[in-house]
Amino acid sequence: MHIRVDDTVEVITGEDRGTRGKVLKVLRTQSKLVVEGVNRVYRHVRRGPRNTQGGRLSKEMPISWSNVLLVCTACGRPARTGARLRDDGGKDRYCKKCQAAIGVIAPSRAAREKASK
């Protein structure tokens, strides 16, 4: 999965289709994402010591990662992403539409060795 926290994604299917939002949480074991402002549900809360007012709380629920596309930072369009090796031995994400690098997946071996010392 090439989507990380703080990435901007666009929903491509479902009730919130066309909505863009920031990824708040990635649930890798369930293959789901929590996206800001997407898949909002109401949680009915009874009055009590913690919540003195009670009422309906709105919160985001996870959606499947297959229902979103990562928005490219270079071209600004939702696009499929891929992974490619760089010349220095590192690996990065890239946009398959404009071929622009989106972010680093793994640093080069020299950078890892330098950081460990």
Residue 112, pLDDT > 80, answer: no
Mean pLDDT, range 13-17, rounded to an integer: 93
For residue 53, list its beta bridge partners.
none
- Identify the band that residue 109 occupies on the pLDDT scale cut at 50, 70 and 90: confident
- 64: number of Cβ within 10 Å: 12
pLDDT at residue 99, as a whole number: 93
- Where do the structural domains in the chain lie, given as residue ranges? 1-71, 80-117
**1-71 — its CATH code?**
2.30.30.30
- Identify the band that residue 111 occupies on the pLDDT scale cut at 50, 70 and 90: confident
Residue 37, pLDDT > 90, answer: yes
26 vs 2: CA distance, rounded Å: 11
